[in-house]
Amino acid sequence: MLGLMMAEPLRVAGILEHAAKWHADTEIVARLPEGGIHRYTYAAAHRRAKQLAKALLRLGVAPGDRVGTLAWNTHRHFELYYGVAGIGAVCHTVNPRLFPEQLVYILNHAEDRLLFFDLTFLPLVERLAPICPQVEKWVLLAGPEHLPAQSALPGLCSYEDLLSAERADYAWPLFDENTACSLCYTSGTTDQPKGVLYSHRSTVLHALAACLPDSLGCAALDVIMPVVPMFHVNAWGLPYAAPIVGAKLVLPGAGMDSASLYELFESEGVTFSAGVPTIWLALLQFMREGHRQFSTLRRTVVGGSSCPPALMTAFEDELHVTITHAWGMTETSPLGTGARLTAKHKGLSAAESLPIRAKQGRVVYGVDMKIVDDEGIALPHNGMAFGDLLVRGPWVVRDYFGSGTPGELTADGWFRTGDVATIDPDGYMQITDRSKDVIKSGGEWISSIDLENLAISHPAVAEAAVIGVPSARWAERPLLIVVRRPGLDVSAKELLAFFKGKVARFCEPDAVEFVDQLPHTATGKLLKTQLRKDFAGYAVA
């Protein structure tokens, strides 16, 4: 027997429709890449998303067509999220920080028909256009006054011209909630980028889960600024979660440097933010240098790579901002876990609860996970046994877009994350490493993340990476690569001594190298494939 409830399909456009009706005058504020601040409301955003939808239909965009974006976090990018998905087309957010050859690969693989780009990326798209012939039309996300006097970009026009030719009299169509709405490629940290094709259903369910208090925890009282880019797994769902709860949304545009971010945090009264550790490490340094404090920021979610416990403590003690550690991946929309405390931890001091909060955390309802050994046998949740992390749920990938090969699923339908993890009796998952980064030394596994977290707690260390280098006796041994904090000195010998007694002896790094900077991926993660190349053949003395 079927239930007798209304069967309205979950659709992305319904989120903005809701915000426009029930949080009509709540603001969306954006720093514009072409300069200045733009300010309007959910009601106005909804009208413009409808104008965009009509413009796309006029240009012949059909359901299922991919529409690419090379854009920062702005109100126009927000409109694209809703306008493109709203007509049943697919909003393909492309990470402009990728290497040009990866960009070309992704644009051609996705077969984007239209491409919307910010002014910042004009020189980039001029180079890409000749090698991406399937893009019929390039749209500059700005007013016509910013169009170049001359350009060979096919069909080039300005976004504002496109919109102003349309009225907002449009009703979002109804369609199956399993229809694709957006596409995001993995950043290719360990492999060729792979496309993850989200559905309206997966996106809405994920956004609802993101709002839960123990997840990202969004509310109408919040002023939310996603520092995580809208091209990095849909800014972790915040452009959907904020309108669901009716929170003010602040979008930092191209101003990703600490000074610009800080200015916006303060001027817009931001209470809650999210981003990868590198952003917060840089911001911490900036705050310290100027003896600055936040007046409204109270909470931030940090994920994408492991958040060093020392960063959490510094933010809490010095800046009075709580960091919630979270884990996820492009393939999981991305939200998988969040490390907030439970009732049984009441009364613990910040220092006592730090080891719990520093883990990647507990699953969000909707996601299930387990750890397995090489034979696929489930391992116990004792916080010690580590194995391959498998996940499943309604916002976890089944197959990659246009891959022609099956995804990373086990025979019984779990997704192989490629991460190695432990799960403790309270359900807190901790990533030991990516399986490709773990250091295999004499039959034992050494977590590069543990060593990096420890290194960064040394006062003279700004950033650290640990990779395995070949060893005749042990197969691999850990090499620590360090960027020193400006003006502070530390020797290799002192750093090696720092590890003594803090980790098992076989885990202590064998050597330290100092560099001016570490290579990062397009999403701000340590690029260990590069480091392994740079230090190929490294011989430990």
Residues designated catalytic: 186, 331, 440, 445
The percent of the chain in helix, strand and coil, each rounded to the nearest 5, is 30, 25, 45
* Joined tokens for residue 62: 């059909």
**188, 217, 366, 387: residue in contact with ligand ADP (rule CB under 6 A):** 188
Using CB under 6 A as the binding rule, whether residue 327 contacts ligand ADP is answered as yes
Integer Cα distance of 204 and 237 in angstroms: 9
| Distances from the Cα of 336 to the Cα of 180, 339, 417, angstroms | 21, 11, 11
Q: How far is the CB of 189 from ligand ADP (least distance, A)?
A: 3
Per-residue binder mask for ligand ADP (CB under 6 A), 283-312, x = binder = --------------------xxxx------
Question: 195 pairs with which residues across the strands?
Answer: 185
Q: How far is CA 425 from CA 332, 357, 368, 390, 414, in A?
A: 23, 15, 15, 17, 21
235 lies in the site for ligand ADP, by CB under 6 A: no
Q: Which of 26, 93, 102, 417 lies at the binding interface for ligand ADP (CB under 6 A)?
A: 417
- Closest approach of Cβ 327 to ligand ADP, in Å? 4
Q: Does 432 bind ligand ADP (CB under 6 A)?
A: no
Residue 330 lies near ligand ADP (rule: CB under 6 A): yes
Q: How far is the CB of 194 from ligand ADP (least distance, A)?
A: 8
User: Residue 340's Cα: distance from chain center in Å?
Assistant: 19
Task: Tell me how far CA of residue 153 lies from CA of 15, 25, 122, 455, 465, in angstroms.
Answer: 34, 38, 10, 48, 41
533 exposed, middle or buried (CB, 10 Å; 0-12, 13-18, 19+)? exposed
Least separation in angstroms between residue 351's CB and ligand ADP is 21
523 binds ligand ADP (CB under 6 A): yes
Of 303 and 387, which has the nearer Cβ to ligand ADP?
303
Given candidates 217, 525, 528, 531, which one binds ligand ADP under the rule CB under 6 A? 525
325: contact with ligand ADP by CB under 6 A: yes
* Comparison of 170 and 198: residue with beta carbon closer to ligand ADP: 198
Q: DSSP labels for 94-105? A: --TTS-HHHHHH
Give which of 489, 485, 483 is closest to 513, Cα–Cα: 483
Q: Which of 202, 258, 333, 360 binds ligand ADP (CB under 6 A)?
A: 360
CB distance 209 to 365 below 8 Å: yes
CB of 334 to ligand ADP, least distance (A): 6
385 neighbors 424 (Cβ within 8 angstroms): no
Nearer to ligand ADP, 30 or 326 (CB): 326
Number of residues in contact with ligand ADP, rule: CB under 6 A?
Answer: 22
The tokens for 140 are 């500059």
Closest approach of ligand ADP to the CB of residue 309, in Å: 12
Neighbours of 129 (CB within 10 A): 18
Query: Cβ of residue 326: shortest distance to ligand ADP, in angstroms?
Result: 6
Q: Which alpha helices (H) appear in 189-257, and where do they start and end?
A: 200-211, 238-245
**Residue 215 binds ligand ADP, judged by CB under 6 A:** no
Please answer whether residues 67 and 116 qualify as being in contact, where contact means their C-beta atoms are separated by less than 8 angstroms.
yes
Does residue 187 belong to the site contacting ligand ADP (CB under 6 A)? Answer: yes
**74 binds ligand ADP per the rule CB under 6 A:** no
Q: Which residues bind ligand ADP (CB under 6 A)?
A: 186-189, 303-306, 325-330, 360, 417-419, 431, 434, 523, 525
